[in-house]
Amino acid sequence: MDSIYDIGRIEDVHFNPWWSVQPGLFRWQEEHGEAFIFGRSDWQYVFNTFCYGYRVGYKFIKTKTGVCNGNFLGVGADDCNTAVRVEDSAPFGLLISNGEFTSFHGPDPTMVRVAADNSGSVRFVNCAFWGPCDQIARIAGQGTVGFSDCTFVQWDRNKEGRCAIQAQSGTILVNGCEFREDKPQVELGEAVRRAVVSDDIFTGKTRITNHSKHPVKIDDNVGDR
């Protein structure tokens, strides 16, 4: 999707590999395939969409015409190396609600990757993330990324001490989420400009690492130790 200047729409689209049982085709899709790619689209509407077995499920890029903002409701990416990759987005936001995302194949499976060039806003609300991945989210850039009322399960599959959400820079919001494993939850890097991590539920003890040199609020989180 690109060069959409007044509300693009995608509804009830399901991409699965079962149109062919040839192992080589599915392997190529896992290593190279990108299911949904969004460039410039003004207030894109995406409703009830799904993809399985891609390198990237939902990808947001900057083209010569611009970037995307919009409403993504009931979206899913199953068994994708990266479920959502944001290279850049609009300041008005990518509003992602009721999503289900899993990553467990390929090198360094991570559900959400936000690149260093992102300057827009990305919000995940009432989304679920699971599968034996390396991390739930790895965030860079100068934009804002928020998780609200989300559920996180099964990260740090190789027991390397990785946190679920690793923010290198930008503004981070993690509010009212449930972390269902007794593993590190959030890491804030030195270049994180602002962050609020509050009202979350943890399994085990609170494991939040804050290296930021800027204003950060970490408050009212509850573990069971």
pLDDT at 66 over 90: yes
DSSP character at residue 124: E
Please say whether the beta carbons of 74 and 100 come within 8 A.
no
Q: What is the pLDDT of residue 23?
A: 79
pLDDT at 131 over 80: yes
* Cα angle, residue 10 at apex, residues 90 and 6 outer, rounded to 5°: 50
Distance (Å, whole) CA 217 – CA 41: 34
Q: What is the pLDDT of residue 81?
A: 97
Helix (H, G, I), strand (E, B) or coil at 24: helix
Mean pLDDT (whole number) for 14-30: 85
Distance (Å, whole) CA 28 – CA 127: 28
Work out the widest C-alpha separation in the chain, in whole angstroms. Answer: 53
Closest CA to 169 of 209, 206, 187, 142: 142
**What does pLDDT average to over the chain?**
96
Q: Select 9-219's CATH number: 1.10.760.10, 1.20.1250.20, 2.160.20.10, 2.40.50.100.
A: 2.160.20.10
- For residue 204, name the pLDDT band (cuts at 50, 70, 90): very high
Break the chain into its structural domains and give their ranges. 9-219
